[in-house]
Structure 1
């Protein structure tokens, strides 16, 4: 990056919205993957026109530009691996419209997920995507990865709740996709293309979001099992019911040990697997659904299954899991693979076998109703033999997922962490088409270069 480029960048934004001191830029060098790639400058635009000007400048000087939300992602998607400019959207925080009559919200990318939820709640609505980082992650980041969360089993992921977008492409064109209505089939569906594209095609500047009415009531259940096989069998039985739970979370023995360390009275001592289940709707529907789900949970491995009076406490316990993993291992290799629900029993059994084969500690939990399991390989990055075994284990896990007709990422995205494995899932012809789309949107490859593909 030349001084001439920095001087021109300084004409686009005032001094308070550009960082060039390496100490200041360091805060934008990492995300939750814990890898560090410092940018040479950080820019804080406030509107689409400023973003367009920055994109055009970066094209003219062939400077990499990495869009960034709040840096809560785990896959390295917002890391400025090639230096250049980190484009922080954190100051674009306006909720432009809250339109209850049409069940629509329009928001800028820097709006925090929880802020949008709080605003929508006052009108009797919510925005369905609820990643565990909702209190900190931005709408733009949720859009970039098509974030999910526990309630995706009933309500779907981010991609299912976006009506339209405004964005600036990698070549500097301002585009509008989708529409304001829930029906609309004019032209190609560029909205769904951009959602999940991890900032490689365009910088989203505004999103038109579909809101969902808040449920009348919410009910919670727990089920504890002596073994994982019985727990997996119950997941398949529950998801075969006509009553779809609003959340169905799975926790293995390692997860339960972590919870016991913080909430010792919450989990039976002999439980090695647990389901946390939520149902929402009318009071009558909840009562009927809970009875049906409790019946589906019963098998020979069940210790107990019951309705819970304090569902909020369960979710607090569930959200402690990821941070607690940092306490028991210097590093976790965190993968969010997905397999068909019917394949979960075999998948979980094989995970245990692979963990034993490679002598790698493994803690698994996740959104079992979608078949979305967070596989956490716990390793010491300074132990090179252990890291080599972990890589071999991970490679076999990914092969297993593909063999079971699953996918390598359900909600975290590919970023830089999984790009070496994408070829396991996407064939060469399809990959070539995707790379061609990238060239159409970003012909000079300045926008988040190197992400998604090798």
Structure 2
């Protein structure tokens, strides 16, 4: 059953009073100007919520969900809105539940290497607190200074370190959450082993708030490495770079980051600044290696051997902070460079098997030429997670339509190579129309049944993630 309160533009007086009673003083926004900023995320899509509820305590969530069920009021959970797929954009007339005020680190247990946190804690805040104990939490998205742990859990965020340390799913031990039926549940364990019952923790992570509202997380921490080295490899073509990626990932030393930029990305930087990289370079790899200081020279040598092939033009290694900064200069210049090249971009984060990287980039170059759309590619080559950026100007007649057609072809290419449509950004609204291309009908049907079991009235983040159901 669909929520029905979404047809209203203002809260009924009784519902407003009941929500205020649960929220407490200053915990409910109803003025349109106040709730406007909570209607969008980094996808740039916007829907004005009917109200914004600030959660401050886990005990508020069951009565809140019960009230919203009674009124069929849709709920969309929100952290800081850094997501790119529209997952935290509310349903029309729906309620936004912001967890930004639940930002307490309940405890860090160095002996058991875990942290217990509320969902509004910023990723960087947790990293700084864990570092005081010689630990870190592996997920490191580029928005770490601004994104919340709850948001990381919602889309299974990762970042460069995932190539060695895994994603949010791999770094989470257990959760406290409230289902769409209003039931408070505890999932997972506080240990690194545990097989009692189904793995609801991994099910909830990446579900984008469609199954339950997470109120607490127990996270697995990892010891900080003693040291780190940075390398930059320049190649004459994408095939050589892809061969190097495969070779690096096949040898015993796993890098903690293996980042990639293609020819279009390098050309974008050259138009914006002088990166000091010869024009003949057509692909770049940034490689970071961490671990014990005693074995670092040998680890770097192993990585360097794997990176060398006939297409390698230059391999540089940084030994101090200044040299590290110099090597990262080109990669850091990419984002501002793209802002100068086009007024809009479609940013996707697809994943293919590492062995298919060269075929993927060649196919993307072909699509760019055929569709007349500039495509810039970079990302986490070590696990085949590439950020595909389609640059366009909506003011040019027909360009937006060509870009959408090109995006559809990009997804077809990714799936043909045995890949997936989303690595760490989630599905939300943006990728929802394409999900049925990757998942078979039986799997989608099973997922719909799981959704109904967790959320029988369909009030949690409706119309996100799974494709639209066929009309009878």
Contact 1:130 1:148 in 2 (8 A): yes
Aligned partner of 1:329 among 339, 342, 350:
342
Structure 2 unaligned segments of length 5 or more: list them. 1-10
Contact 1:66 1:86 in 2 (8 A): yes
For residues 266 and 108 of structure 1, the distance between their equivalents in structure 2, rounded to whole angstroms, comes to: 45
For residues 58 and 320 of structure 1, the distance between their equivalents in structure 2, rounded to whole angstroms, comes to: 46
Tell me: CA distance 1:443–1:387, structure 2 relative to 1, closer, same or farther (3 Å): same
Aligned partner of 1:211 among 205, 221, 224:
221
| 1:183 Cα deviation from its structure 2 partner | 1.0
Confirm whether residue 55 of structure 1 aligns to residue 68 of structure 2: no
For residues 126 and 161 of structure 1, the distance between their equivalents in structure 2, rounded to whole angstroms, comes to: 10
For residues 145 and 224 of structure 1, the distance between their equivalents in structure 2, rounded to whole angstroms, comes to: 33
Aligned partner of 1:267 among 274, 277, 300:
277
Which of 318-327 and 62-71 deviates more? 318-327
Contact 2:269 2:275 in 1 (8 A): no
SS of the residue corresponding to residue 209 of structure 2 reads coil
For residues 24 and 80 of structure 1, the distance between their equivalents in structure 2, rounded to whole angstroms, comes to: 15
Aligned partner of 2:187 among 173, 177, 194:
177
Aligned partner of 1:247 among 244, 248, 257:
257
For residues 330 and 134 of structure 2, the distance between their equivalents in structure 1, rounded to whole angstroms, comes to: 27
* 2:464 paired residue number: 451
Tell me: CA distance 1:148–1:12, structure 2 relative to 1, closer, same or farther (3 Å): same
Contact 1:128 1:151 in 2 (8 A): yes
Q: TM-score, normalised by structure 2?
A: 0.93
For residues 31 and 326 of structure 2, the distance between their equivalents in structure 1, rounded to whole angstroms, comes to: 44
For residues 384 and 428 of structure 2, the distance between their equivalents in structure 1, rounded to whole angstroms, comes to: 21
Number of positions where the alignment pairs a residue of Structure 1 with one of Structure 2: 454
Confirm whether residue 369 of structure 1 aligns to residue 382 of structure 2: yes
| 1:154 Cα deviation from its structure 2 partner | 0.5
Aligned partner of 1:419 among 432, 437, 442:
432
* 2:362 paired residue number: 349
For residues 332 and 17 of structure 2, the distance between their equivalents in structure 1, rounded to whole angstroms, comes to: 45
Contact 1:132 1:319 in 2 (8 A): no
Deviations 1:70-115 (A, max 9, x none): 1000111100132321100000000001000000100000000000
For residues 89 and 318 of structure 1, the distance between their equivalents in structure 2, rounded to whole angstroms, comes to: 33
Which of 250-259 and 169-178 deviates more? 250-259
| 1:68 Cα deviation from its structure 2 partner | 0.3
For residues 18 and 334 of structure 2, the distance between their equivalents in structure 1, rounded to whole angstroms, comes to: 46
Confirm whether residue 358 of structure 1 aligns to residue 368 of structure 2: no
Structure 1 unaligned segments of length 5 or more: list them. none
| 1:351 Cα deviation from its structure 2 partner | 0.9
Contact 1:96 1:107 in 2 (8 A): yes
For residues 403 and 30 of structure 2, the distance between their equivalents in structure 1, rounded to whole angstroms, comes to: 38
For residues 274 and 421 of structure 2, the distance between their equivalents in structure 1, rounded to whole angstroms, comes to: 34
Which of 232-241 and 274-283 deviates more? 232-241
For residues 382 and 4 of structure 1, the distance between their equivalents in structure 2, rounded to whole angstroms, comes to: 46
Confirm whether residue 122 of structure 1 aligns to residue 135 of structure 2: no
1:370-389 matches, within 5 Å, as 370-389=383-402
* 2:420 paired residue number: 407
Which of 39-48 and 309-318 deviates more? 309-318
Contact 1:294 1:306 in 2 (8 A): no
Contact 2:74 2:91 in 1 (8 A): no
For residues 267 and 180 of structure 1, the distance between their equivalents in structure 2, rounded to whole angstroms, comes to: 48
Confirm whether residue 276 of structure 1 aligns to residue 289 of structure 2: no
RMSD, aligned α-carbons: 1.6
* 1:81 paired residue number: 91
1:156-195 matches, within 5 Å, as 156-195=166-205
For residues 450 and 260 of structure 2, the distance between their equivalents in structure 1, rounded to whole angstroms, comes to: 37
Contact 2:136 2:224 in 1 (8 A): yes
Confirm whether residue 432 of structure 1 aligns to residue 442 of structure 2: no
Tell me: CA distance 1:116–1:364, structure 2 relative to 1, closer, same or farther (3 Å): same
Contact 2:140 2:161 in 1 (8 A): yes
| 1:152 Cα deviation from its structure 2 partner | 0.4
Tell me: CA distance 1:83–1:314, structure 2 relative to 1, closer, same or farther (3 Å): farther
For residues 306 and 326 of structure 1, the distance between their equivalents in structure 2, rounded to whole angstroms, comes to: 28
Deviations 1:260-289 (A, max 9, x none): 466634533432210000011123432122
Deviations 1:307-326 (A, max 9, x none): 12333554575355345423
For residues 329 and 65 of structure 2, the distance between their equivalents in structure 1, rounded to whole angstroms, comes to: 41
Contact 1:229 1:349 in 2 (8 A): no
Aligned partner of 1:71 among 38, 62, 81:
81
For residues 274 and 404 of structure 1, the distance between their equivalents in structure 2, rounded to whole angstroms, comes to: 22
Confirm whether residue 340 of structure 1 aligns to residue 349 of structure 2: no
SS of the residue corresponding to residue 355 of structure 1 reads helix
For residues 107 and 261 of structure 1, the distance between their equivalents in structure 2, rounded to whole angstroms, comes to: 44
For residues 65 and 333 of structure 1, the distance between their equivalents in structure 2, rounded to whole angstroms, comes to: 27
For residues 43 and 344 of structure 1, the distance between their equivalents in structure 2, rounded to whole angstroms, comes to: 44
